[in-house]
Amino acid sequence: MKNKSYQLGELEELVLMIVAILQENAYGVKVMDEIFDQIGRKVNISAVHTVLDRLEKKDFVTSYMGGASSERGGRRKRIFKVTTAGSKAIEYVHQTRNELYSKIPKTVLGFQ
Give the chain's length.
Answer: 112
Does 56 contact other proteins by CB under 8 A? Answer: no
Q: How far is the CB of 56 from other proteins (least distance, A)?
A: 11
- Please tell me the distance from the alpha carbon of residue 90 to that of residue 82, in angstroms, as a whole number: 10
Of 14, 15, 19, 77, the one binding other proteins by CB under 8 A: 77
DSSP string, 90-111: HHHHHHHHHHHHHHS-HHHHHT
Q: Are 27 and 80 in contact (CB under 8 A)?
A: yes
Q: Which is nearer to other proteins, 65 or 98 (CB)?
A: 65
Helix (H) or strand (E) holding 80: strand 76-82
Question: Taking CB under 8 A as the criterion, which residues in 29-48 touch other proteins?
Answer: 29, 44-47
- Beta carbon of residue 76, minimum distance to other proteins (angstroms, whole number): 6
Where do contacts with other proteins occur on this chain (CB under 8 A)? 27-29, 44-47, 49-50, 53, 65, 68, 71-73, 75-78
